[in-house]
Structures are given as C-alpha cells and as structure tokens.
Amino acid sequence: MEELTFHHTTRRRAGGTKRMAIIGVVASGNLEVLAERVLTDAECRLDIKTAAEGFGAVWSAVVTDFVERHSPGGLRFSINDGGAHPDAVSLRLAQAVRMMEEAEQ
C-alpha cells in the first residue's frame, strides 16, 4: 500500500451545502471517494491510500486536472483505491463534487 497526500489552493468554494458524500466501491479497478466539507474555502486536500504503488506522478496529474476543472474549495477527499485507472479516478472525483453540490437534507 502507498499513501499520498495532495494540497491545493482553489479559486472558489465548492457549490452546495452537503457536508459529506461517498461514492464508489473498493474493488479491483475501482475506488471509493469520501468527500467532506471541513476546510477553508480556498483550499482542498486529497488523502489517498492505493494498492498500486509507484504511480505518484499519475495521481498528481489527475488531481491537478481535477482541481483546475472543478475548484472544489473547502473539500477534503479521502480515497481508498483498488488500482483504478486514471479515467475512473477522474470520474469518481467529479461524481463526489457533484454530490456535494446538492443541498443538505
């Protein structure tokens, strides 16, 4: 297992008021993303635990692209990865942000 952490400053806060969302399953080629609204509006953080070691540069590129596209200010993402491909990671992150954009019930 390898642990990776990424910190980014963001242009704006993530939309919506939802405090927590979870998407995905930890299985081969899949991952789960837990999103929590626990940071200040101008930052985001991703904590990753992955079964596939040695892909730090790929993760860094995927995360940078994600932050650029979605500006998820205020969100912390905790990821358990079962060896997902980069496109699956991007999809799950986008899904997680989309879920957080909903109103808290």
CA distances from 104 to 17, 18, 75, 78, 100 (A): 6, 4, 15, 20, 9
Q: How far is CA 83 from the centre of its chain?
A: 15
**Does the footprint of another protein cover residue 14 (CB under 8 A)?**
no
User: Is residue 58 involved in binding another protein (CB under 8 A)?
Assistant: no
Q: Which of 8, 45, 49, 98 binds another protein (CB under 8 A)?
A: 49
Considering the complex, state which of residue 78 and residue 90 has its C-beta at the smaller distance from another protein. 78
Site for another protein in 74-103 (CB under 8 A): 78, 80-82
- The single residue among 4, 51, 91, 94 that binds another protein, judged by CB under 8 A, is 51
Q: Which amino acid is at 26?
A: V
Cα 22 → chain centroid: 10
Place of tokens 């806060």: 13
Residues contributing to the site for another protein (CB under 8 A) = 1, 20, 22, 25-27, 30, 32, 34, 36, 49-51, 78, 80-82, 105
